[in-house]
Structure 1
């Protein structure tokens, strides 16, 4: 795959991240502005990195390709580390991280309780309010949210870790190709010019 095509794919992925985050906020699937802002920020960062690499490849600009290579290598290290961490988490560590995330944001708690029809993380507190329909209907019994979330956490972490690991190696391939081809002469330039 040519460098131009690879960079266009990265630009599409970054635009997809931005679009999905905006869509989730628009339709009320996610009420936490921090989550939406984080995903949009990552999408914008990837778009700028891909644009920098595309400009460097089209213009045969060594400095842009060097910085593209360095930034892509740092993204590779972060993505590889996070992917390995996702694949290495055991069930107790997953539960601990879920509980920490649960206690950080009340908006996320309400979203999860409403979407999954559950109340509380590890126990149901009848004195507090819960937006779940099972809490409002006394004939239904509510499950705790940790029971429902833990059913899918292991599978999701394995999937995300494997996918991240695959794409981290494609980023490493991009670093290697940028390193290998950044010192080539521009075929449109003067043949007698130095690089």
Structure 2
């Protein structure tokens, strides 16, 4: 490779890496915001949510690493960028597959575990905002982990029962039966899993483009022969 070719190839690969990593930054921040917002609506913590958020947070860090390695002329940083991006692909791919492959029964088990592991305050907030009472419809045993939280401040305002009377007047005409919170949480959970998993799975494959671009840039820069020069 001549010196003239070397000078011409470097700017092209650098610009390509700039575009790729800027895309990673933008989409990473967007996905984290979307999943975190949706998780707040569901009001439960699930491993699939944490996996998606962790993977995309790492992607944002790796994108910064790629930009620094490219424009700081750090071949060692670029090599680390390639390795981390490859590992991130595995994490992103497995998390997305897990989110998409969760069956209805598994979703129910996850929500049951999350509900029973939540504090009464968390359950009460779900009841109040979701206009639901207890985990399942007609759950009456307050000593059961599936039972309702009966404090007036946590009673739903959209329905009235003999068990639970809200401390403030209803904003809309109440009904005489409250739906269980499971029926309110499940559609949100399914939507979040499908959206987060689908976007994550599609974007995971584009990480190969980033690895290829970094490899091309390092090759154009002629990787040093010694370990000291490499660093």
1:104 shift after superposition? 2.6
Q: Which consecutive segments of 4 or more residues in structure 1 shift more than 6 A? A: 17-24, 28-32, 38-43
CA distance in 2, matches of 1:44, 1:9: 14
The match for 1:101 is 114
CA distance in 2, matches of 1:91, 1:40: 22
**Greater Cα radius of gyration, structure 1 or 2:** 2
CA contact (8 A) 1:62 1:182 kept: yes
CA distance in 1, matches of 2:201, 2:97: 7
The match for 2:126 is 112
CA distance in 1, matches of 2:114, 2:59: 26
CA distance in 2, matches of 1:40, 1:169: 17
Gaps of 5+ in 1: 33-37, 187-193
Deviates more, 1:54-63 or 1:132-141: 132-141
CA distance in 2, matches of 1:162, 1:47: 19
Residue by residue over 1:41-81, the C-alpha shift from the partner in whole angstroms, topping out at 9 and shown as x without a partner, is: 77764433221110111133211111111111122111101
Deviates more, 1:172-181 or 1:159-168: 172-181
- In structure 2, do the counterparts of structure 1 residues 151 and 44 end up closer, same or farther at CA, with 3 Å as the change threshold? closer
Superposition TM-score, scaled by structure 1 size: 0.72
Say how many residue pairs are matched: 182
Greater relative contact order: 1 or 2 (C-alpha under 8 angstroms, separation 6 or more)? 2
User: Superposition RMSD on alpha carbons, in Å?
Assistant: 3.8
Superposition TM-score, scaled by structure 2 size: 0.62
